[in-house]
Structure 1
Amino acid sequence: MTKPAELDLPVDGGTLRVLRFGEGARVAVAAHGITASAMSFAAVARHLPPDWSLFALDLRGRGHSASAPGPYGFDSHAADLCAAAERWGGGLPVALTGHSMGAYVALRAAARRPELFDRLLLVDGGLPLPVPADADPDALLDATLGPVIARLSQRYKSDEAYMALFRDHPALGPHWNDDIEAYVRYDITGPHGALGSRAQEGPVRHDGRELLTSAESFGADLAALSVPARLLYAPRGLMGTEPGMLPAVLVESWAARVPLLSDEFVPDCNHYTVLMGAPAKTVADRLTSPAQ
């Protein structure tokens, strides 16, 4: 695996780490999932044509941007994506993508600054989630992402112990490959005997609550789209089982309502392997070809 270049992106309040994959003149900018990092795009980047470069951000509170200050939330993350597009886009519109929570970040960036982007690729995210109006967002967050959030405060004796947590994960272990291993190793921080994730619980909880309570604003972002967009969605979810994160009926409903949004079902994958498994080639192909 070719090691990406590590770059710094000055943003309001601090600096973010950005991984540059490739050396081509054509540019794509990417945002990762809620507890993930820029390294989650390594498999996609490997399948890019040689004339492309992918600039993947470590969002505030994650990866090597873990110490970057707030504000957190989708407006802030989207502004950071736009800053990356302006810094490395060479004055031309660039391709934009996001996976999971990052898809909502990318959607917001495209809706707010469409002049910066010529296409948008949403990967298993980006559609408003149907949440009951009287639901407690913290309780719902714990019900859906409880084990993921709990991992952020746990400590492990060695790299191997931390890796074992992911090797035992039902959505990752059966599909283990070099890209998943590199992604997990990139996330490890701390002294030997007290290792843990770089992702910070505070920013993760903040963004998770906003994700669950902002269906209306994400719907407005979709309605405002003036950039051609594609949505790729997986049949299996966070635990590697059906249903997926985005039910087909939800996808069909929004595709019918948003003229510039097309959708594509990606078979034989889950929420993680759509990005870090064999379908990474599909993601790269769709990202580098104009949306219809």
Structure 2
Amino acid sequence: MTVAVPGGDLTVLRWPARTPHAPTVVAVHGITANALAWGTVADRLAGQAVLVAPDLRGRAGSREVTGPFGLARHADDVAQVVQALGLGPALLLGHSMGAWVGALTAVRHPELVRRLILVDGALSFPLPAGVDEDDALAHVLGPALARLSMTFPDRAAYRDFWLAHPAFAGAWTDRWDAYTQRDLVGEEPELRSSCVPDAIRQDGREVLLDEDAAAAIHRLPCRAELLWAERGLLDEPQGLYDPARIERAGLDGTRVPATRVPGSNHYSIIGGAAGADAVVERILDGGSAA
């Protein structure tokens, strides 16, 4: 389906529930992702909830939606999806950059959000002294960012690019294949990512530096939980978060409890069976009050 927003129409995917009174969750993807990133979570939900996921502006089906970009603009877009589809107050689920967007949506539109599940995102740290924001973004996102300047001769080549990514080693699934293939636009032999580079640059800078985005998790007006992956974006042993870093960031664990998802990396926390099951458990925890 589509939802009108300033600058165009957002594409929105919807997975239905088996029963008429099932809860609804609105899911927000990461910085270079698209709505099909939630496919494994939808599978593991098995119709116990309705899952609604927009392609954020500048990505996949919403790549033609014009700027301005930025996290506040995405938050207002998510609020428009909630309003247009009559879903509020909603349970919001956000992964990576989508977690910052979800937290900002709750702060900017508190009447539309009743609960938040923040997955490996939303908790910010200052850049180390002397570190350039572009270098920091490239370091954090790695191959996911590098691919935006690449072209691919065919769909198999794009699949091979992702198969070589350390986070997917031995864990490739049909769902991940569909999600990554949905990112492609253009014609062979010059296929490329659907992500609009200006959108990714602006959004990435704000994830790193925007004060309102950094403050949102500390100002939430609703119940929330942070789920964090124990491994990183490249499956490295150190993930984005650990107990010491969470404590240093000043997260109030009574208001926003933080829970490690064992065996997960930044991608498998939503795309692997164990990670998706942890997310589904939180969706259904109190989710009947849709």
TM-score between the two structures when normalised by the length of structure 2? 0.91
Matching residue's letter, 1:173: A
CA distance in 2, matches of 1:195, 1:155: 5
| Aligned equivalent of 1:3 | none
- The residue that corresponds to 1:260 in the other structure is 255
Shift of 1:51: 4.6
Q: Secondary structure of 2:225's partner?
A: strand
Pairing 1:115–2:132 present:
no
Tell me what 1:200 maps to.
Answer: 196
Structure 1 unaligned regions, length at least 5: 1-6
C-alpha distance in 2, partners of 1:134/1:226?
35
How far, CA to CA, are the matches of 1:274 and 1:255 in structure 2?
A: 23
Indicate the SS of the match to 1:175: coil
Code of the residue aligned with 1:191 in structure 2: it is: E
1:219–1:145 Cα change, 3 Å: closer
2:9 to 15, 18, 34: 15
After superposition, residues 11-160 of structure 1 pair within 5 angstroms as 11-23=5-17, 25=21, 26-48=23-45, 50-90=47-87, 92-132=88-128, 134-160=130-156
* Counterpart-to-counterpart distance in 1, 2:123 and 2:32: 19
1:257 Cα deviation after fit: 2.5
**1:276 and 2:271 equivalent?**
yes
Moved over 3 A (4+): 252-256
Alpha-carbon shift at residue 31 of structure 1 (Å): 0.8
C-alpha displacement at 1:150, in angstroms? Answer: 2.2
Separation (CA, whole Å) in 1 of partners of 2:70 and 2:184: 24
CA RMSD of aligned residues (A): 1.8
What one-letter code is carried by the residue in structure 2 that aligns with 1:10?
A: A
Deviation at 1:286, TM superposition (A): 0.5
Matched-pair contact (CA < 8 Å) for 2:58–2:199 = yes
Asked whether the 8 Å contact 2:100–2:216 carries over to 1, the reply is no
Change (3 A) 1:127 1:256: closer
Q: Kindly report which structure 2 residues correspond to 1:191-270, keeping only aligned pairs within 5 A, or say none.
A: 191-214=187-210, 216-253=211-248, 256-257=251-252, 259-270=254-265
Q: One-letter code of the match for 2:213?
A: F
Q: Deviations over 1:54-100 (max 9, x none)?
A: 1111111111111110110011000011111112234x411101100
Quickly say closer, same or farther: Cα 1:47–1:184, change in 2 above 3 A: same
Are the counterparts in 2 of residues 27 and 88 from structure 1 also a CA contact under 8 Å?
no
Q: What is the CA–CA distance in structure 2 between the aligned matches of 1:42 and 1:58, rounded to whole Å?
A: 13
Q: Secondary structure at the match of 1:223?
A: coil
Give the letter aligned to residue 228 of structure 1: R
Secondary structure, aligned partner of 2:182: helix
**Cα distance between partner residues in 2 of 1:288 and 1:82:** 22
Q: Give the share of equivalent positions with the same residue, in percent.
A: 38
Question: Distance between the aligned counterparts of 2:207 and 2:230, measured in 1?
Answer: 21
Give the deviation of 1:21 after TM superposition. Answer: 1.2
**Count of residue correspondences:** 283
What TM-score do the two structures reach when normalised by structure 1? Answer: 0.91
Tell me the distance in 2 between the aligned counterparts of 1:139 and 1:49.
41
SS in 2 for 1:257: coil
DSSP-derived class of the 2:227 partner: strand
